Amino acid sequence: MNRILAMAAVTALCCALTACTGGNTVFAYAPATGGDPQHGKNLIEHYNCGSCHAIPGIPGARGLIGPPLILMARRTYIAGELPNSPDNLQKWLLDPKAVEPGTAMPKLGLSEQQARDVAAYLYTLRGWDWNGGNSN
């Protein structure tokens, strides 16, 4: 009986600790991609991805050519072609035309690590407060 109570207490503690952040911290997504979300954000700004996409947390990223990247972490598919997974998102970021030949998305020349970093940032996008910031 004590063992069952101890296991229940540990389970409750784990659930309570998870609820503190809801699993929505930037760090919750970095291990899945092997990337650095902050560096990914910097790369998105550097490559001016916001000229084509609306991207939460990126100043001035209000582009209308590509789809908005709002809720990227919650999407089922990438470009309507690939199931949304870290590997597939990185594949898309490295060579979009290899996935969908007719896409307007250019090949940016990202390294594999840069693609992991951009993916890590995109996986932090679970919501948007419409004032330019992330809202998980």
Q: Each residue of 59-95: pLDDT tens digit?
A: 999 999 999 999 898 899 999 989 999 999 999 999 9
**Would you state the structure tokens that stand for residue 96, as one six-digit string?**
């979009």
Q: Is the pLDDT of residue 4 over 70?
A: no
Question: Full-prediction pTM beyond 0.85?
Answer: no
The answer to whether the beta carbons of residues 51 and 105 sit under 8 Å apart is no
pLDDT of residue 126: 81
Q: Each residue of 20-73: pLDDT tens digit?
A: 444 444 445 555 889 999 999 999 999 999 999 999 999 999 999 999 999 898
Q: Each residue of 109-128: pLDDT tens digit?
A: 999 999 999 999 999 998 65
Q: Each residue of 85-113: pLDDT tens digit?
A: 999 999 999 999 999 999 999 999 999 99
Q: What Cα–Cα distance (Å) separates residue 81 from each residue in 59, 99, 101, 118?
A: 28, 7, 11, 19
Of residues 57, 54, 42, 71, the one with CA closest to residue 132: 57
Residue 79 phi/psi, 5° resolution?
55, 25
The span from the CA of 65 to the CA of 50, in Å, is 10
How far apart, in Å, do the first and last CA atoms of the chain sit?
Answer: 39
Q: Which domains are delineated in the chain?
A: 24-122 (1.10.760.10)
